[in-house]
Amino acid sequence: MEASVALRPVDGVHVTTLIDNYTDVLLPDEGPIRRWGAIGTGGRAAPVPDSISISGQTVDGLRAEHGFSALVELRVAGAVRRILFDAGVTPDGLIGNLDRLELRPDSFESIVFSHGHFDHVMGLDGVARRLGSTNMPVYLHPDFWRQRRLVSGPDRAFELPVPSRSAIEGVGFSIIEGRQPSYLLDGMLLVTGEVDRTVPFEQGLPNHQAYVSGEWQPDPLIHDDQALVLHVAGKGLVILTGCGHAGVVNIVRYARRLTGVDQVYAVLGGFHLRAGPVVTETVTALAELSPALLVPSHCTSWTAQQALAAAMPDATRPNTVGTRFEL
């Protein structure tokens, strides 16, 4: 493959799940995976006061919600550089978990949004309130601002909350839009931009619509869906998705083509893989790539997770809030 984007290798990358749909404090560490909770070494719950226990104290816990957010830490030449990828769904969910994990949002160099759906965006509210006036850059696709809805019947539609450009800019964030691939942190982190759709079985979200030119129109492909890509020296590509509306196979193939790196080390994040023949096709395609680690998260159905685990038992691992993948 001929690379069209230069991507500098890093010594390692840590990906910490800040928001996801699941929490489990009883999972142990496993290889490069550090679990948060009673058994793992990724951190434990702090005591909080209560009024019904003998001691007057119980323990706090990380919050799970239908959304996604991750901290990405690049490690190179002894230095650590941090970016935030997505922000979860509730105003206080992300900032609450950052506090529980003792992570400061002012340590982030930038924020990247995978797409404009509210379950990946609205946690920015709490971060903005904590930071106050800031000029932190925020990277996103131009379609991020679209008004959207999910249609479930002739008279049934759920309109998604829409992020406000003026509100985000009003608290000082510096918005940087782009459809094309771009790289951050001195060329060590690639944002895919709009992903080429080449895989026939990845058809997007059929009941998804966008309000364009004064009317609701079909918008199954959700073109603003983008991913992060890193190259760990000697290991291969680490690919982090938000929802994977572009199709996880499309995303992985696009990342390989952009970087010229064939080896896939890890694929983590939401795959938006629900049910039907697309699950079988996706499992087959991913198995052919033989990633060392596969972490289906957020909007990936139980059926799809089971199929991936059955096909790639040595690679597939569950995600939970607070888990840190040390790659």
pLDDT of residue 6: 83
Mean pLDDT of 74-92: 96
Distance, CA of 317 to chain centre: 16
Query: Given a cut of 70, is residue 100 above it in pLDDT?
Result: yes
pTM for this prediction: 0.96
Write down the pLDDT at residue 3.
54
Say what the pLDDT of residue 239 is.
Answer: 98
Phi, psi of 174 (to 5 degrees): -100, 110
Checking if the pLDDT of 139 tops 90, the result is: yes
* Per-residue model confidence as pLDDT tens digits over 280-324: 999 999 999 999 999 999 999 999 999 999 999 999 999 999 999
pLDDT per residue as tens digits for the range 50-63 = 999 999 999 999 99
Residue 136's pLDDT is what? 97
Chain-centre distance for alpha carbon 129? 22
Contact 267, 292 (CB under 8 A): no
Structural domains in the chain, sorted by start = 12-47+58-326 (3.60.15.10)
| pLDDT for the residue 133 | 85
d(CA 184, CA 20): 25
Residue among 80, 50, 85 nearest 70 (CA)? 85
Average pLDDT over residues 76-94: 96
Q: Does residue 5 or residue 210 have the better pLDDT?
A: 210
Q: How far apart are CA 116 and CA 242, in angstroms?
A: 10
pLDDT of residue 1: 43
Mean pLDDT of 179-192: 97
- How far is Cα 325 from Cα 293, in angstroms, rounded to an integer? 10
Residue 244 pLDDT > 90: yes
What span, in angstroms and rounded, lies between the C-alpha atoms of 24 and 28?
10
Sign of CA dihedral 244, 246, 249, 253: negative
Element (H, E) at 279: helix 277-289
pLDDT tens sequence across 5-28: 689 999 999 999 999 999 999 999
Mean pLDDT for the stretch of residues 176-182: 97
Question: SS3 letters for 217-247?
Answer: EECCCCCCCCCEEEEECCCEEEEEECCCCCC
